[in-house]
Structures are given as structure tokens and as C-alpha cells.
């Protein structure tokens, strides 16, 4: 199963993004298909935060627009939402320690740990920082060689 990171969601949502068309082309088959795919809850929170931030986008998306985009994703019958459960803290600890994550990098460690904890085999992201977390393949579908 693959998981989608927040940056790809933002690019697919924001038409003015230079990566918009590539992100939409990469995500549409996943969202409309029957193969299970996932989003970690922290990626949803980060999507809403970035899409509605007027320091990043002018104009920023309204909360309504951001939540409508997420709502469209939730209509996918194959979407699985990744959240903390059971002994997740052990996975987070192992991922954070192995990746030497401290400070703000704990956010990325959390997403990687959620993916590993739920059996995700590949995370789609344009963020190269995830390469520090072993046990999870990371692929940028926006790059031709990915």
C-alpha cells in the first residue's frame, strides 16, 4: 500500500503550483482506483495548514476550500487513514532514533512511523527528508525517474 504526503496534496489542490498538473496526474489514478492507499492524519493537518496559509499562497485557500478538497479524497472507497494505535510509540521511537530525528524532524518521523506501523510499503512525497527513515521506501511521483 502507498501513502500520500501533504506536499503532493497541496500541489494537487493549488492550481497555481508549478507541480499542479503532475500532482493531479499522479494522484488521480490512486484516488479513483480500487487499490488501497493511505494518508496519515498528520499529513491532513499539514495540508490544511499550508493550503490556508497566506504567507505561502496568495491567495490562500479558504478553510472551506481546503476541507472540500479533503472531503473529495475521503470519498475514495479505497482510502485508509493512518492514526496512532496500540504500540505505535515503539515504532515512533525506533524510527526517530534510527533517523536521528529531533526538533521539527519529529513531524516527518511521525508520518514515517505511522506508515511503517500500518504496513505502508511506499510513501509518495516530494520531501527528501524522509530518506533518513529506514524501513519505508519513498518515491517522488513528480520526477520522471521515480
Q: Determine phi and psi for 124, rounding to 5 degrees.
A: -90, 120
Show me where the domains of the chain are located: 2-139
Does pLDDT of 100 surpass 60?
yes
C-alpha cell at position 79: 482510502
How far apart, in whole angstroms, are the C-alpha atoms of residue 96 and residue 13? 30
Cα 103 from Cα 105, distance rounded (Å): 5
Provide the percentage of residues in the chain whose pLDDT is more than 90: 93
Q: What is the pTM of this model?
A: 0.93
| Residue 146, pLDDT above cutoff 60 | no
Q: Which CATH number fits domain 2-139: 3.40.50.1010, 3.20.20.240, 3.40.1160.10, 3.30.750.24?
A: 3.40.50.1010
Binned at pLDDT 50, 70 and 90, residue 145 comes out as low
> How far apart (Å, rounded) are the C-alpha atoms in residues 96 and 101?
5
- Looking up cell 496519515, which residue turns up? 40
Q: Is the pLDDT of residue 126 over 90?
A: yes
Amino acid at each position: 500500500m502507498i501513502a500520500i504526503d501533504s506536499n503532493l496534496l497541496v500541489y494537487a489542490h493549488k492550481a497555481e503550483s508549478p507541480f499542479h498538473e503532475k500532482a493531479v496526474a499522479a494522484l488521480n489514478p490512486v484516488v479513483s482506483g480500487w487499490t488501497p492507499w493511505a494518508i496519515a492524519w498528520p499529513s491532513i493537518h499539514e495540508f490544511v495548514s499550508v493550503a490556508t496559509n497566506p504567507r505561502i499562497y496568495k491567495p490562500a485557500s479558504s478553510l472551506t476550500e481546503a476541507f472540500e478538497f479533503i472531503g473529495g479524497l475521503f470519498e475514495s472507497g479505497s482510502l485508509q487513514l493512518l492514526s496512532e494505535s496500540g504500540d505505535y510509540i515503539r515504532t515512533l521511537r525506533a524510527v526517530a532514533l534510527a533517523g536521528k530525528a529531533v526538533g521539527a524532524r519529529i513531524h516527518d518521523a511521525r508520518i514515517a512511523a505511522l506508515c511503517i506501523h500500518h504496513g505502508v510499503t511506499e510513501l509518495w512525497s516530494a520531501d527528501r527528508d524522509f530518506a533518513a527513515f529506514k524501513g519505508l521506501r519513498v518515491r517522488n511521483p513528480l520526477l520522471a525517474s521515480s
